[in-house]
Amino acid sequence: MLDSYSIKVIKWPLTQGAKLVNHFGVTANQITVFGFVLGCLALPMLMLEQYNMALLFIVLNRICDGLDGALARIQGITDAGGFLDISLDFLFYSLVPFGFVLANPDINSIAGAFLIFSFIGTGSSFLAFAVMAGKRGIDNPVYKHKSLYYMSGLTEGTETIACFIIMCLFPHYFAELAFVFGSLCWFTTATRIYSGFHTLQDS
């Protein structure tokens, strides 16, 4: 829901950073992998209940995720790069709630499982429509410079990262936050399936 607004805010600094990184010959795919490795370091930090350090690695991962896209727009967007980016993104999204489960399985396991379950809904509906939209040549009027169709919803990347940040700041409320955000994700899934089905049926 907020991605289209947040992109406008971060576009300029990411573009400037991408120009600098491009000067040193770094590729967008290298930034993607590097960012994923940084994001993976959030898992042991969460498991050890070092939530401030986990938050740092989560933020660094997201900075890299924005930087690789800006760099790809300079170097040339590729299907391989888009595939790598979205695949590692979804793995990272699942990694964070799993880390909270490892930190306190007695309290967080069901809530964490529910949140990951909800991510399956948002992720699968997002990717399934992207495949069909690409097959039919349906363009997204909002995200024109993406390698695949970005289907909007109530819970997008901006909302997900905001949720992760709040969870790291208030880890004792992880279960409550996970159930609330997971429910919102299922609303997103339902609306995506409904609108996606009718869009494809009518196209």
DSSP 3-state percent helix, strand, coil across the chain (nearest 5) = 80, 0, 20
Handedness of CA 83, 123, 180, 140 (dihedral sign): positive
**Domain at 3-202: CATH architecture:** Up-down Bundle (1.20)
Q: Compute the mean pLDDT over every residue in the chain, rounded to the nearest whole number.
A: 89
Q: At 189, is the pLDDT very low, low, confident or very high (cuts 50, 70, 90)?
A: very high
pLDDT higher than 90, residue 35: yes
CA distance 91 to 132: 22
Q: Are 197 and 131 in contact (CB under 8 A)?
A: no
Q: Is the pLDDT of residue 26 over 70?
A: yes
Convert the pLDDT of each residue in 50-99 to its tens digit.
Answer: 999 999 999 999 999 999 999 999 999 898 999 999 999 999 999 999 99
- DSSP state letter for 123: H
Q: Is 160 helix (H, G, I), strand (E, B) or coil?
A: helix
SS3 string, 132-146, reads HHHHHCCCCCCCCCC
Q: Give the mean model confidence (pLDDT) for residues 125-154.
A: 68
Question: What Å distances lie between residue 198 and 57, 191, 195, CA to CA?
Answer: 39, 11, 5
Which phi and psi (to 5°) does residue 154 adopt? Answer: -65, -40
Residue ranges covered by each domain of the chain = 3-202
Closest C-alpha among 150, 134, 43, 40 to residue 88: 40
Alpha-carbon distance of 184 to 110, in angstroms, equals 17
Distance CA 107, CA 137 (A): 46
pTM over 0.95: no
* pLDDT bucket at 157, cuts 50 / 70 / 90: confident
| DSSP letter assigned to residue 150 | -
Angle formed at CA 93 by CA 75 and CA 29, multiple of 5 degrees = 20
